[in-house]
Amino acid sequence: MDQFTLNLLVVGATFALYIGIAIWARAGSTAEFYAAGRGVNPVMNGMATGADWMSAASFISMAGIISFGGYDTSAYLMGWTGGYVLLAMLLAPYLRKFGKFTVPEFIGDRFYSSSARMVAVVCLIVASITYVIGQMTGVGVAFSRFLEVDVATGLYIGAAIVFLYAVLGGMKGITYTQVAQYVVLIIAYTIPAVFISLQLTGNPIPGLGLFSDATSTGQPLLTTLEGMLKDLGFKTYTEQHDTTLNMFLFTVSLMIGTAGLPHVIVRFFTVPKVADARSSAGWALVFIALLYLTAPAVGAMARMNLISTVYPNGTTEAPIAYDARPDWVANWEKTGLLKFEDKNGDGLINYTASEDENELTVNRDIMVLANPEIANLPGWVIALIAAGGLAAALSTAAGLLMAISSAVSHDLIKGQLNPNISEKGELLAARIAMAVAIAVATYLGLNPPGFAAQTVALAFGLAAASIFPALMMGIFSKRINNVGAVAGMVAGLVVTIIYIFLHKGWFFIAGTASFSDADPLLLSIKSTSFGAIGALVNFAVAFAVSSATKEPPVEVQELVESIRIPRGAGSATGH
């Protein structure tokens, strides 16, 4: 059986499973559409949360970023996992106890303001749309190679699949689909990693193989990789090149962005009890760790395999002839994500750090997906990683679209425009809103502002600057009033967006714009790290404005106090 047919069978089988689950778990009420009827088991919810959060950025792009960035990109690992500790300890149980459907609904009720709710809706949509662009980018990358279509067609196919199971099933269908997607993605990620670790080090555990000796040299794998990179003029792999300030702020931005992501937070509204919310967060961290402990090894081994492909004789002075390139290079060239330009006309593939001499351009998002082909693994493993990459991208895309849909139908339409809308009407509005969100995300995914992980990092920064501070102050401060909360969210969001646009050159001049980072505008802080500064602005403005204006009503202060008292799910609001 040829590889294309095998890819179709494996990917098609997983898609049929997702759609079948959505039909089986079809939402019949708003409670099921928004919160899966609050009946999800904590362990299953933890697994669904892991799939919801481990997106195309985690599965496809993160190891690729690490393979090219080395130590500097370890912030992705620390920030994204550290954020779950914040979420489990500081937010999840209290938000579940409040007993609402959406994050904007909590903010609106806590700050006794429809304006606060609407600002939260805007913040949620901006962060979620930015995030979902990264997922659609990942979908396009995976489809373009394994189904042998162009990136745009891959995006359209992925959007159609999400439409079928997300619009039909709502949160209930998405939850059980994400459980299946987690199983697919974790198997797809670890099996190739085990094979490749055995090939390169003889150790079947990738995380341990990373610190084992390479069978080709007898030296530690990282030492061998370091030598290769130095010979080719690339940055060292295990040393820090980024500034400590930017790396720290980037890690903080990812941490508090994780804790402020609405599509993750809403997962904790689906469990029966407050204790289950905390338990779900713990299980999610366990399930996430299975992939995140493997990712550094995958990144390092993928880079080593790439260099060994170009220089198969073990010396960086003897590159392979282009006509003798392996099949995987030719396969990925068709997608446009890997390019060769024979600058000196010698017919050899020169891969170096010098822009003038380098002839091989590699999109970082292909490294995980191409790794099994580079290592000559069996065809079923290649098909499996295709299914895993798509599962990761689609699961998170569905969760984000669910958050956007809920914000539009429940917070905007029912909360503001038409409070008397029937449950059937609200359910229809939610499905229409999700369909529109899918269309917008697909359009924006055709022109992403960076690699999948970089785009996602921007979304985390926006969530960190706008939503996280409002939730923290709403739970732990009785003094923050509605005016302060609104001012803080607006200030944090606007400052962060302006910095990102200035830094990345997105103020369009004469119809053109640069999508790469310019020199930092403030000290050494890059656009992906500015979310932490935006959060500080949010906190500062909220406290300053609240201190200068009237205290919240007594009943609101009592509500805040009761949220923190462990008296059972929803006791604060009678739910």
- pLDDT for the residue numbered 448: 67
CA distances to 281, 283, 381, 447 from 118, in Å: 28, 32, 47, 28
- pLDDT for the residue numbered 35: 65
> In which element (H, E) is residue 226 found?
helix 221-231
Per-residue pLDDT tens over the stretch 313-324: 877 788 999 999
DSSP β-bridge partners for residue 362: 338
The label of the residue with tokens 């359910």 reads: 427
Could you give all domains of the chain from N- to C-terminal order, each with its CATH number?
A: 3-302+377-563 (1.20.1730.10)
Give ∠ CA 86-92-93 in degrees, rounded to 5. Answer: 120
Residue 35: name the closest of 88, 103, 93, 94 by CA: 103
> CA-to-CA distance for 555 and 507, rounded, in angstroms?
45
For residue 59, the Cα-to-chain-centroid distance in whole angstroms is 9
CA distances to 364, 504, 510 from 148, in Å: 19, 32, 35
Contact 59, 453 (CB under 8 A): no
Please give the single-letter amino acid code of residue 453.
A
DSSP β-bridge partners for residue 361: 339
Please give the single-letter amino acid code of residue 227.
G
Question: Residues 6 or more apart from 344 whose CB is under 8 A from it?
Answer: 350, 357, 359
- pLDDT for the residue numbered 62: 86
Instruction: Kindly report which listed range (98-102, 299-303, 466-470, 559-563) carries the lowest average pLDDT score.
Output: 98-102
- pLDDT for the residue numbered 469: 95
Range 118-136 average pLDDT: 82
CA distances to 9, 283, 496 from 370, in Å: 19, 30, 35
- pLDDT for the residue numbered 27: 66
Question: Residues 6 or more apart from 290 whose CB is under 8 A from it?
Answer: 186, 190
> CA-to-CA distance for 565 and 199, rounded, in angstroms?
54
Phi, psi at residue 200, to the nearest 5°?
-85, -30
DSSP β-bridge partners for residue 338: 362
- pLDDT for the residue numbered 460: 79
Range 510-529 average pLDDT: 61
- pLDDT for the residue numbered 553: 94
- pLDDT for the residue numbered 201: 95
- Structure-token pair, residue 567: 């008296």
Per-residue pLDDT tens over the stretch 1-48: 788 888 889 888 988 888 788 778 776 677 777 766 677 888 998 898
pTM for the model = 0.81
Please give the single-letter amino acid code of residue 80.
W
- pLDDT for the residue numbered 570: 46
- In the structure, what pLDDT confidence band is assigned to residue 477 with cuts at 50, 70 and 90? very high
Per-residue pLDDT tens over the stretch 242-272: 889 989 999 999 899 888 877 778 787 788 8
- Structure-token pair, residue 152: 């745009």
Q: Write the DSSP symbol of residue 102.
A: S
The mean of the pLDDT values for the chain is 84
> CA-to-CA distance for 381 and 59, rounded, in angstroms?
15
Please give the single-letter amino acid code of residue 50.
G
List, as one string, the DSSP characters of 160-190: HHHIIIIIHHHHHHHHHHHHHHHHHHHHHHH
Question: Residues 6 or more apart from 495 whose CB is under 8 A from it?
Answer: 465, 533, 534, 537
Instruction: Using a pLDDT cut of 90, give the percent of the chain over it.
Output: 30
Instruction: Using a pLDDT cut of 70, give the percent of the chain over it.
Output: 91
* Rg (alpha carbons) of the chain, rounded to whole number: 24
SS3 at position 27? coil
SS3 at position 421? coil
The label of the residue with tokens 């509605």 reads: 482
Which comes out higher in pLDDT, residue 220 or 97? 220
SS3 at position 159? helix
Which comes out higher in pLDDT, residue 459 or 289? 289
- In the structure, what pLDDT confidence band is assigned to residue 571 with cuts at 50, 70 and 90? very low
